[in-house]
Structure 1
């Protein structure tokens, strides 16, 4: 598992890339990816292309990010979801909370 974050050139967006299993073991690394930055992004993009597994604790971590980013006003996109990850997000009704592509 590896989590990296990269700001956009204009500092308006933070891209977070998750590789491997996204589970409880990623909790601190995921929080660090968006809390330990020196700017306040307006938008967040979570790239799940390399994510092989997601569990309920990862769903909770996404909800914590949403709260951190402004709750219902947060602009967070979950992109490049494989079919298994997409199914878990769908079953959990995350389409109501995040823009998923």
Structure 2
């Protein structure tokens, strides 16, 4: 499991890449990518191209990010999901809360 993040040059977008398993062991690393930034981004991108698995705690972490980013006004895109990961997000009705590609 590895979580990395990149902030755009103007600070408006944060991309978080999740590799391997996205579960409770990722909690601190995931929160660390967005909580202590000098400027709060207006857009967030979660790149799951290398995410092999996610569980209910990962879903909770995505919801915490959504709250941090502004709740209903948050701009969060989840992209590059595998078929299995997308199925979990769909079953959980996350397409109602996030933009999923």
**TM-score between the two structures when normalised by the length of structure 2:** 0.98
Give unpaired runs (5+ residues) of structure 2. none
> What's the CA shift for 1:48?
0.3
> What's the CA shift for 1:54?
0.4
Partner of 2:48: 48
Runs of 4+ in 1 over 4 A off after TM superposition: none
Q: Distance in 1 between matches of 2:21 and 2:27?
A: 11
Note the 1:49-68 alignment, pairs <5 A: 49-68=49-68
Q: Distance in 2 between matches of 1:79 and 1:38?
A: 25
- RMSD value, Cα: 0.5
Partner of 1:69: 69
Aligned residues: 101
Q: Distance in 1 between matches of 2:48 and 2:36?
A: 20
Q: Distance in 2 between matches of 1:73 and 1:96?
A: 13
3-state SS of 1:48 partner: strand
Give unpaired runs (5+ residues) of structure 1. none
- 2:4 corresponds to 1:4: yes
